[in-house]
Amino acid sequence: MTARRVAVTGFGVISALGRDAAAFRQALEQGRSGIGPHGFDVRFPNAAQVRDYEPAQYFDDKQAGLIDRFAQFAIIAAAEAIAMSGIEFTPALKARTAIVTGTSGGGQSAIDDGFLDLYKNGMPRVNPFTIPRTMSNAAASHIGMKYGITGPAWTVSTACSSSNHAVGQAYWMVRNGEAECALTGGSEAPFSPGFLKAWEAMRVVSPDTCRPFSRDRKGMILGEGGAMLVLEPLEAARARGATVYAEIAGFGMSADAHHITMPSPEGAAAAMRAALADFPLEQIGYINAHGTGTPANDPAETKAIRAVFGAHAGKLAVSSTKSMHGHTLGAAGAIEAVATILALLHGFLPPTANFNEADPECDLDVVPNVSRRAAPVAALSNSFAFGGLNATLLFTGPSLAR
Amino acid sequence: MPADTTGRVIAVIASTQKMDASRIAATSTFEELGIDSLDGINIAFGLENEFNVDIPDDSLPQLRSVADIVAGIDKLLAAKGGA
């Protein structure tokens, strides 16, 4: 069969910028950062956390004890996305709906809690829910149970590309007729003492804030949250009268095969080229960059964008919303997919916040500090993981879906 | 005692890089030894344990040779001793 067009008919997001898509959009338009003190005893004092989050606001006590924070974020985002889509899960559709989630660390804080009890607090046993809380597929499984969805469900873990890869796989399934609907995205909750010490030892986290593409950038800022999308064949979405917020028009993956932590511009470029395989690149008006704010990533990504786009690179806007919601690791691809969709939908370019000074090695229009009215019709969202695993999603706005 | 520092630095590099210490001289550079940025992080971790000091993140890019490390460690030790 021929490939079907794939519509985004719902999305949800919870992050340091707020608990839903409306709050997220507002922060992106205002260029407001969600970065602040985290209170853990590590060298870097700041992070992008979901402030004042209480599981009891969303889950009963029993559920909250069984479901780790990372999975809670995905469930909350999925509920928003499904409500927005207005989709009705008939028994037939439930069996033909896929769930594909991404996470890097899964419920690592559940492991951390258990090992703290065991090694430090002298307790002889750990919480019996440690395994079901920890498993990376917990988010996909709980979403499936909540809505009775019985189609293919699985979880992708490719570090910082996890949920970009997840959305891409879900897109392929719907496009190729292997699912009639997909719930896809990802989530991450990296704030536990042991995991933060591991990030401290990696020496890639900024001592102050995240300044992507700025000459004085000093590293990334860790963030947490989750985002989920509802994908359907465009024809089916139209047939049921659903609002089409965006389309996914391409997806590319590649591996650097170069170094376990250092990025390669060639690998990043290959992912972007693969996403653009069937699409005129002159139509791309915006790129939501991987843009971690580390010394290594931003020049490599700039080089890759220039290699792919040539002269058109000078006409594109490229920004890193990680400057506001932090680097949410396995959730980054999904959260940034929502940022990209919002930009296309509402006609604005989210800024790169905390930007101080142009860097000749990052000589792109990075939309410094202030969002801009613009009407891009198509946009890329990049995720490049440690381990050199790259992913790029291509979205088109509703104007091209008609 | 700079000479002593040099010997201990070389031992840390040898042990983290799984490299024979005889290959490392006081004048060796990271480039000669094939040490990349991730290796550098691991060496810094070894040095922090060996000398009981904290090496700031932003000093790492400047450490490109055994001599750079020895100078940096002596400075950190002097600051600690003088505190």
> Among all chains, which residue has been given the structure tokens 């992070």?
A47
> For A130-149, how does the pLDDT look when each residue is reduced to its tens digit (9 = 90+)?
999 999 999 999 999 999 99
Write down the pLDDT at residue A398. Answer: 84
CB contact under 8 A, A296 and B61: no
CB contact under 8 A, A203 and B44: yes
Q: How far is B15 from chain A (nearest CA, A)?
A: 18
> For A340-360, how does the pLDDT look when each residue is reduced to its tens digit (9 = 90+)?
999 999 999 999 999 999 999
pTM greater than 0.90: yes
Write down the pLDDT at residue A402. Answer: 56
- Looking at chain A, which residue has its C-alpha nearest residue B54? A43
CB contact under 8 A, B57 and A296: no
ipTM: 0.82
Alpha carbon separation from A391 to A126, A170, A190, A204, A238 (Å, rounded): 37, 13, 21, 21, 28
How many contacts (CB atoms, under 8 Å) link A and B? Answer: 24
Residues 6+ apart with CB under 8 A from A148: A89, A94
> For A18-65, how does the pLDDT look when each residue is reduced to its tens digit (9 = 90+)?
999 999 999 999 999 999 999 999 999 999 999 999 999 999 999 999
Which residue among the candidates A160, A181, A210, A362 is catalytic per the annotation? A160
> For A217-232, how does the pLDDT look when each residue is reduced to its tens digit (9 = 90+)?
999 999 999 999 999 9
Which residue among the candidates A210, A325, A327, A362 is catalytic per the annotation? A327
Give the pLDDT band of residue B34 (cuts 50, 70, 90): very high
Chain A residues contacting B via beta carbons under 8 Å: 43, 201-203, 207, 218-219, 259-262, 295-296
Which residue of B41, B54, B58 is in closest CB contact with A202?
Answer: B41
Q: How far is A154 from chain B (nearest CA, A)?
A: 32
- Looking at chain B, which residue has its C-alpha nearest residue A206? B57
CB contact under 8 A, B57 and A259: no
Mean pLDDT of chain A, nearest integer: 97
N-term to C-term CA, chain A: 22
Write down the pLDDT at residue A102. Answer: 98
> For A265-316, how does the pLDDT look when each residue is reduced to its tens digit (9 = 90+)?
999 999 999 999 989 999 999 999 999 999 999 999 999 999 999 999 999 9
Look up residue A132 and give its two tokens.
Answer: 């079901």
Look up residue A79 and give its two tokens.
Answer: 């509920």
Three-state SS string over A314-342 comes to HHCEEECCHHHHCECHHHHHHHHHHHHHH
Write down the pLDDT at residue B1. Answer: 46
Write down the pLDDT at residue A401. Answer: 62
Which residue of A43, A259, A261 is in closest CB contact with B57?
Answer: A43
Which residue of B38, B45, B58 is in closest CB contact with A260?
Answer: B38
The fraction of chain A above a pLDDT of 90, given in percent, is: 98
Which residue among the candidates A142, A165, A290, A325 is catalytic per the annotation? A290
In chain A, which residues have their Cβ closer than 8 Å to the Cβ of B61?
Answer: 295
CB contact under 8 A, B41 and A260: no
Distance CA B14, CA B31 (A): 15
Of A34-38, A84-88, A180-184, B36-40, least confident by mean pLDDT is B36-40
Q: Is the pLDDT of residue A1 over 70?
A: no
In chain A, which residues have their Cβ closer than 8 Å to the Cβ of B44?
Answer: 203
Q: CA geometry: angle at A330 spanning A151 and A219, to 5°?
A: 170
> For A85-118, how does the pLDDT look when each residue is reduced to its tens digit (9 = 90+)?
999 999 999 999 999 999 999 999 999 999 999 9
Which residue of A43, A219, A261 is in closest CB contact with B38?
Answer: A261
Query: Which one of A44, A203, A260 would you mutate to disrupt binding with B, by most B Cβ within 10 Å of its Cβ?
Result: A203
Q: Is the pLDDT of residue B3 over 80?
A: no
Query: Which one of B38, B48, B57 would you mutate to disrupt binding with A, by most A Cβ within 10 Å of its Cβ?
Result: B57
> For B16-27, how does the pLDDT look when each residue is reduced to its tens digit (9 = 90+)?
999 999 999 999
Alpha carbon separation from A325 to A158, A205, A273, B25 (Å, rounded): 20, 14, 27, 46
Q: Is the pLDDT of residue B2 over 70?
A: no
In chain B, which residues have their Cβ closer than 8 Å to the Cβ of A203?
Answer: 41, 44, 57, 60
Identify whether the C-beta of residue A160 lies closer than 8 Å to the C-beta of residue A384: yes
Q: HSE (CB half, 13 Å, CA atoms) of B18?
A: 0
| Residue at A107: amino acid letter | G
In the residue annotation, A327 being an active-site residue is answered as yes
